[in-house]
Amino acid sequence: MSLRPDTQYAFEEGQFNATTTSTCENALGGLKSVSNPSGIAACFNVAFLNEETSIFGADVKLYYVSQANGEFTNTKWEDFNIKLGSRLIEFSGMNRVFQNTTSNSTTDSPYLVMQWRYSGRVNEIIPLKKLSLEEHRYLLAPNISIITKSPSQPNTIIDASLAPDTLSYTTGYLANDANSPYNMTTSEVKTQLTNILIATLEFEVPGIGLGIFPTGLVITSVWTGLFLAIVGYGTFERKQYRSFHERRLKYATSTRGYGNRPVVS
């Protein structure tokens, strides 16, 4: 297993960029088509992660693989933008560092279309130092989408998820020992993030402390109190009704045969 990196706050421009370019192109070299209509595949890598501050830096390269189709037909690369999604990451500092101006009609594949770099911060409730590198891989991987304007309806924005066509961790400390890329499905990432979150929110040993403010405990206590109050009130009402009914029967028996019966209160 790879060692965790030393604390860094900036990309090592030369080495990191050269390495990601070569490893991304090698990883995508066997692709002849993609499943999304943009014809684009993504290569995602993490340059650094500071476990003390939960801040990390990442690189996303977008490659042309096959002709666009469907609603992305006739779209232009220079009009492409990216959208990142993650349940536990706050993104910032999105920076487009490369944009290819060559015509979209190229037949070379994979062909670098654009490159983005950004910063991210993991939600503070996640104890990064307690997670394995495998859990880091799932935690830091974003859901990457391309957004652009529709060629046929310029006022309409269209998008395509690159999740099925994203290769991750081709280099860097999150790469595996074989340097083979990861292609993580959306459902797989969601499952792993849920497991990480559940493990994070588990209470510590009773009497020592709670890992988080017990919001769930407070809410549960309130609902339990309301439930007991409702049940208690219902029991009281039933007893009152039973007592009332018994008195009615008693008076009815004692006055049987008379036209006027006493009023029971």
The string of pLDDT tens digits covering residues 183-202 is 998 899 999 999 998 888 76
The residue type found at 94 is M
Residue 187 lies in a domain: yes
2-6, 34-38, 50-54, 120-124: segment of lowest average pLDDT? 2-6
Residue 239 lies in domain = 213-265
pLDDT score at 264: 41
- Domain termination residue (choose one: 175, 201, 227): 201
| Higher per-residue confidence, 243 vs 146 | 146
Same domain, 174 and 123: yes
pTM: 0.72
Instruction: Supply the DSSP string of 38-89, one letter for each residue.
Output: T-EEEEEEEEEEETTTTEEEEEEEEEE-S---GGGTT--GGG-EEEEE-SSE
Give pLDDT tens digits for 47-99.
999 999 999 999 999 999 999 999 999 999 999 999 999 989 999 999 999 99
Q: Round to whole Å and give the CA distance between 83 and 56.
A: 18
- Domain termination residue (choose one: 177, 201, 225): 201
Same domain, 120 and 238: no
| Nearest one of 91, 7, 2 to 50, comparing CA atoms | 7
Residue 2 lies in a domain: no
Q: How many domains does the chain have?
A: 2
Provide the percentage of residues in the chain whose pLDDT is more than 90.
56
pLDDT at 233 exceeding the cut of 90:
no
pLDDT score at 3: 47
Residue 100 lies in a domain: yes
Same domain, 124 and 228: no
Same domain, 137 and 225: no
| 30 DSSP 8-state letter | T
In terms of C-beta density within 10 A (0-12 exposed, 13-18 middle, 19 or more buried), how is residue 58 classed? buried
Same domain, 249 and 195: no
